[in-house]
Amino acid sequence: MTAVHDSSVTTIDGDLSVWPASTAECRPGEVAVGGVPLAEIADRLGTPVYVLDEAEVRDRCRTYRNAFPDTEILYAAKAFLCRAMIHWMDEEGLGLDVCSAGELELAVMTGFPPGRIVLHGNAKSPRDLASALRLGVGRIVIDSPSEIARLAAAVGPQGHQKVMVRVAPGISAGGHEKIRTGTEDQKFGLSISDGYAQHAIARILDQPQLELTGLHCHLGSQITSVKPYLAAVRRIVGLMARLHEQHGLVLPELDLGGGHGIAYRPGEMSMDLTTLARKVRTELTEACATAGLAVPRLIIEPGRAIAGPAGIALYRVLAVKRTGALTYVAVDGGMSDNPRPALYGVHYAPRLIGRHTTADRASVTVVGRHCEAGDVLAADVELPADVRPGDLLAVPVAGAYHLSMASGYNLVGRPPVAAVRDGHARLLVRRESLHDIRVRDVGL
């Protein structure tokens, strides 16, 4: 998924490796994505604003399909979801992985086939389960023993629902401790080592209206090494072998989740999908042969790796403040539209766009407008030394876990999302207005 660009086009500081493949500098300082100058989008829609390159999203879907030709690929909707994204996933042949009634109902309302949707989550509400059963989702991932009885009762004695069980394989992987979900000391899944997973599976087998189709695990996020996935395959196939021995059970599916890492700044590592696909397939085939099992169908759930690199966040500079040796560049967004730096210490590479400058570069910290000292978007980054109020900053790799995690802090309203493709821009999600905020407040 490395971006390739026409060498005749002027590049931005000579490195576009983390920008969408369509990025170009038409004139000095004027950056376009999908054939549309970003400054024009900022002028038309205001800032902050997210720009999503439709062609980049679709290309990344096809990259997954080519790397994993015999695998069911589910887009992890929690990364970013809107009706256009749902439509693109449908057209590109991907399924959806959702974790709430809201995500599920938006997908089905948009026309996405419910049979290609999987619902998971560690604490599904009654509404989540009711919506899943009413709309006919393909599979529900059971994450705790209490869900078994609740789901069986909701399905009813004459009903039928395919389910999977999420297991915790005891593997630590991920870019930050808060996004490592394969270990046994966090809220997701049922432990293999202490027998909870086996006990839950035995209970499911006693519920004839629940059809167990396979096992599910998700190791974490921002994983750039193949090794944790291979370890997970070995441990889960080992569990499958024990289930076959104890119950005569042959499970046709194995969901390895997602978490495939991407580069947020030039030079950072990302997951090599071709290597991942080849080694996981080899490991799965060999482990099943050793255990005497048929090879289950593989399922993966990429989210960030599809949406993240396709998005750019645009901000307007409001103030530049020099305090001692530090320079703070304050913008009109912040932790309400991107909480990830505050949550996980994520690092970005913002760039000045919209005007040409020959000024030397200086180390600055880009901060948000919110009333928190931790509202920092990018610490110790280089920008032109003459950056000033009114300038436009672009932050690449902003397509995942930005708007989906946005909040109403300070009541500033969540930003809009525009899609670009072939020289055209269109609004996908409008800006949350002050009117929207007022009409929700119904008491006095």
For the annotated catalytic residues, the residue numbers are 371
Which residues, in sequence order, are CB contacts of 418 under 8 Å at separation 6+? Answer: 41, 45, 49, 50, 51, 52, 425, 426, 427, 428
Q: Which residue intervals of 68-208 are DSSP H helices?
A: 83-91, 101-110, 126-135, 145-155, 196-205
3-class DSSP state of 300: strand
Q: How far apart are CA 444 and CA 435, in angstroms?
A: 17
Angle between helices 126-135 and 145-155 (to 10 degrees): 50
For residue 139, which amino acid is it?
R
The residues pairing with 161 across neighbouring beta strands, listed in sequence order, are: 210
Tell the burial category of 35 from Cβ atoms under 10 Å away from its Cβ (0-12, 13-18, 19+).
Answer: middle
End-to-end Cα distance, the chain: 53
Query: Which residues have CB under 8 Å from 238's CB, separation 6+?
Result: 287, 291
Cα angle 82, 399, 346 (rounded to 5 degrees) comes to 135
Asked if 144 contacts 120 with a C-beta cutoff of 8 angstroms, the reply is: no
As a 3-state breakdown, the chain gives helix, strand, coil percent values, each rounded to 5, of 35, 25, 40
Exposed, middle or buried by CB within 10 Å (0-12, 13-18, 19+), for 311? Answer: buried
Buried b (16+ CB within 10 A) or exposed e, 158-175: eeebbbbbbbbbbbebbb
